């Protein structure tokens, strides 16, 4: 990276070590690292068999930060919160958090496009802060969001931050070689399908031709779609693999063929 004039040596070293790109979230002024580090794998008390212990989690976060991957997705719980509240009450409470300086921006997650539209309308009607992004289940094997949600987001300037962009790790390994604990867990939607096998096989084919990792092909598809994926990483090697996406530049033309493979469009059951 070209040295920036007048920066402290420590800041310049940090810039030189940066391995990732930074993109704007929708039409907001917020810039985030590409990709985003998913925090569901981190923790000291394993809930799922793939959770890292505290020491490994800290080492992973340090490695990610050192490489410039400084946007992390986390929550105080996953799945144990209330799914619905009165819209006006919710949006007013979120607006108050922004006004008090406790948060900078608001983002929505895992809802129908109609629900998001209602919440945005209520916020606009009352002069409250609106969402700038949506975090939903979206990947090569599950593309239900393309029906309504993605179109609504693009039309209204919201950023799209997909979770499980690698389909629980299944898009990162050849068929029959998925040995990770995460990839062996039951799919929350349905059993493994012939469409899944065809898509994963094509991802492997493109990866072999380009000399990329399969995960990089699957994420290049997200980049071509203009999304900012949230990726779980369980090792420093995975962090480097994701950071290496910048070296691939914008050469994503071959991944567009993946759009024409038959895929699944079934609603996520928790909505």
The span from the CA of 149 to the CA of 157, in Å, is 12
Confidence label for 240 from pLDDT (cuts 50, 70 and 90)? confident
Say how far apart CA 187 and CA 179 lie, in whole Å: 15
Extract the tokens encoding 103.
Answer: 């948060």
- At residue 83, the pLDDT reads 37
Token pair belonging to 102 = 């406790």
Q: Is 142 a catalytic residue?
A: no
> Would you say residue 176 has pLDDT above 60?
yes
Sheet-wide strand order for 106-109: 106-109, 131-135, 159-160
| Domain definitions of the chain by residue range | 19-75+85-260
Average pLDDT, the chain: 80
Could you tell me the pLDDT band of residue 133, with boundaries at 50, 70 and 90? very high
φ, ψ dihedrals at 3, nearest 5°:
-60, 140
Confidence of residue 159 (pLDDT cuts 50, 70, 90): very high
pLDDT over 60 (residue 217)? yes
pLDDT band at 20 (very low <50, low <70, confident <90, very high): confident
CATH of region 19-75+85-260, choose from 3.20.20.100, 2.60.40.1180, 3.90.550.10, 3.30.450.20:
3.20.20.100
**Is residue 82 scored above 50 in pLDDT?**
no
What phi and psi, each to the nearest 5 degrees, are found at residue 152?
-65, -45
Higher pLDDT residue, 27 or 265?
Answer: 27
- The more confidently predicted of residues 38 and 129 is 129
Q: Are 98 and 104 in contact (CB under 8 A)?
A: yes
Region 79-90: mean pLDDT is 56
Give pLDDT, residue 79: 29
| Assigned token pair, 143 | 């593309």
8-state DSSP, 3? P
Question: 15 pLDDT band (50/70/90 cuts)?
Answer: confident
Using the Cα atoms of residue 121, residue 125, residue 126 and residue 127 in order, give the sign of their dihedral.
positive
Catalytic residue among 5, 22, 65, 78: 78
Residue 152 has pLDDT above 70, yes or no: yes
């Amino acid at each position: 990276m070209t040295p920036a004039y007048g920066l402290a040596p420590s800041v310049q070293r940090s810039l030189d070590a940066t391995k990732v790109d930074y993109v704007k979230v929708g039409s907001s002024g917020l810039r985030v690292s590409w990709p985003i580090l998913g925090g569901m794998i981190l923790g000291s008390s394993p809930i799922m068999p793939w959770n890292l212990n505290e020491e490994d989690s800290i080492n992973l976060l340090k490695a990610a930060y050192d490489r410039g991957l400084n946007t992390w997705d986390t929550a105080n719980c996953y799945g144990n919160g209330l799914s619905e509240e009165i819209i006006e009450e919710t949006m007013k409470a979120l607006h108050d958090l922004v006004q008090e300086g406790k948060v900078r921006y608001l983002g929505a997650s895992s809802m129908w496009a109609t629900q998001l539209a209602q919440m945005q309308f209520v916020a606009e009607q009352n002069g409250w802060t609106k969402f700038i992004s949506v975090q939903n289940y979206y990947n090569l094997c599950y593309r239900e969001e393309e029906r309504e949600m993605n179109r609504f987001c693009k039309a209204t300037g919201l950023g799209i931050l997909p979770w499980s962009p690698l389909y629980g790790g299944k898009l990162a390994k050849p068929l029959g070689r998925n040995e990770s604990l995460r990839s062996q867990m039951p799919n929350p939607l349905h059993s493994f399908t012939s469409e899944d096998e065809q898509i994963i096989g094509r991802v492997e084919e493109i990866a072999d031709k380009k000399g990329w990792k399969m995960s990089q092909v699957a994420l290049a598809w997200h980049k071509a779609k203009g999304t900012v994926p949230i990726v779980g990483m369980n090792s420093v090697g995975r962090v480097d693999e994701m950071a290496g996406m910048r070296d691939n530049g914008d050469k994503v033309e071959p991944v567009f063929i993946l759009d024409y493979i038959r895929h699944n469009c079934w609603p996520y059951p928790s909505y």
